[in-house]
Chains A and B, each alone.
Chain A
Amino acid sequence: MLFFLDTRTNYFVPVRSVLSTVVYPIQTIAAFPKELTTWLSDNFQSQQQLKEHNAELEVTNLLSSIRLQKLKALERENIRLRKLLGSSFRLRERVVVAELLTIDLDPSYQQVVIDKGQRYDVFVGQPVLDATGVMGQVTAVNPFASRVVLLTDPSHAIPVQINRNGLRAVASGRGLGEPLQLEHLPHNADVRVGDILVTSGLGGRFPVGYPVGTVVSVNFPQGKSFAEVGVEPAAQLATSREVLLVLPAKMVEISKKSPETETETETETETETETETDADADADAEVQE
């Protein structure tokens, strides 16, 4: 049967890509009413609202730039220390901004469609973030759009670690509105309610250190060998409209790096958003010493 073959093998990836290009116009039309209303509300805001919004944004911008200053110093320190150790250093990841198509898919799958596809070098397995945390990863692409499976999908699991003590675990989805579950943690695992989970980078798919969620419940059920740990996702899975697609960072050997290769990588990865290029340049300057 066709669906059996599809779920077990990869033969239908190109077929799916072609067919999803065929249905893409239907999806765009379905998303149109929502887009129209957002466009209207964007264009007919009062000056008062805009002023308030602007003030708010200025405050947050100030706060973030203060944090960023500190981060830059830490990054330099990190590079110096790693240089001492002679270990490799991951450059900061670059991102592309994409927008969600506001359409509903089958509610039994936790998936969304975004408006960037192969034309923007989106690839299967690419991590997707929003402003507050990890959202999920790309599962299918066509030239114009791609499909993202969210953290809460029952078929999705993500390697994480606890920020407080570095304990590694795997968080898997449990469906719409349900908290994620940490799998296979023994009863004596050091997990507490309120612990923050970040990506561990194991498996090589998600970059290290992005927030995944917060532990909201810890149970040690009698007679079961593993703890039951519920995790509330950090990303606004239901409300985000803009998402960030992460381009993979390059592993760079600090000791053996030549300036030319570095500038090349800098220019060849064009993103259409402004991506902390100055921070990267700073880091490079530091490295080249």
Chain B
Amino acid sequence: MATNKSSHSGVIVLTIVFAMLLMILPLPDSLRFLRPEWVLITLIYWAMAVPRLVGVGFAWVVGLLMDVMMGGAIGLLAFSYTLVIYLVLQFHLQLRQYPLWQQALSIMSLILLADILIILVTPTMAGWYVWLPAISSTVLWPVIYPLLRTVRRTFNIS
């Protein structure tokens, strides 16, 4: 198994690209508002697991690409992703120790923080459904965490 840093980053970038695909994959209208923040939770996982490779700068670049892809104001998602990843990096040692459900709850608060930032700036007709992505992301975290851990162990990224 290759252990050099560039191939590790490659794997991480691939998972992010996959998450971006999931963000824009067409869903039925009833499910659209339930779509989890795939990219953000993938970023959070990598920042938590390998803070050496995934930092604030990487989060900013990913956020910028997401901004352009989703068509919002440039820099909005970049800023909120950067903020969330900064917090994750501050607390990554604690986060790793938590049991899975507690991790999920911390992640919910982080995603809510990002959502609040976005909602403050977006000229949207806000309804209760804008909070649904945070909830669906939380519910899916216990699935995504083992999945990404498997990826990380397969490619021996640490």
Contact = CB atoms under 8 A, between A and B. Distances in A.
Nearest to B65: A23
A217 B121 CA distance: 31
B26 A26 contact: no
A106 B33 CA distance: 9
A107 B33 contact: yes
A65 B136 CA distance: 52
Contacts of B73: 3, 6-7
A31 B17 CA distance: 14
B125 A154 contact: yes
B27 A22 contact: no
Interface residues on A, range: 35 or more
Interface in A1-50: 1-3, 5-7, 12, 15-16, 19-20, 22-23, 26-27, 29-31, 33-34
Nearest to A25: B17
30 contacts: A2-B79, A3-B72, A3-B76, A3-B78, A3-B121, A12-B74, A19-B64, A19-B68, A20-B68, A23-B69, A26-B69, A27-B69, A30-B25, A30-B26, A34-B26, A102-B26, A103-B24, A103-B25, A104-B25, A104-B26, A104-B32, A105-B69, A106-B70, A106-B71, A107-B33, A109-B72, A109-B122, A109-B124, A154-B125, A175-B125
Ranked nearest first, the 4 interchain pairs of A and B with the lowest CB-CB distance are A2-B75, A108-B124, A3-B75, A175-B125
Interface of A: 1-3, 5-7, 12, 15-16, 19-20, 22-23, 26-27, 29-31, 33-34, 102-109, 111, 139-140, 147, 154-155, 174-175, 178, 238
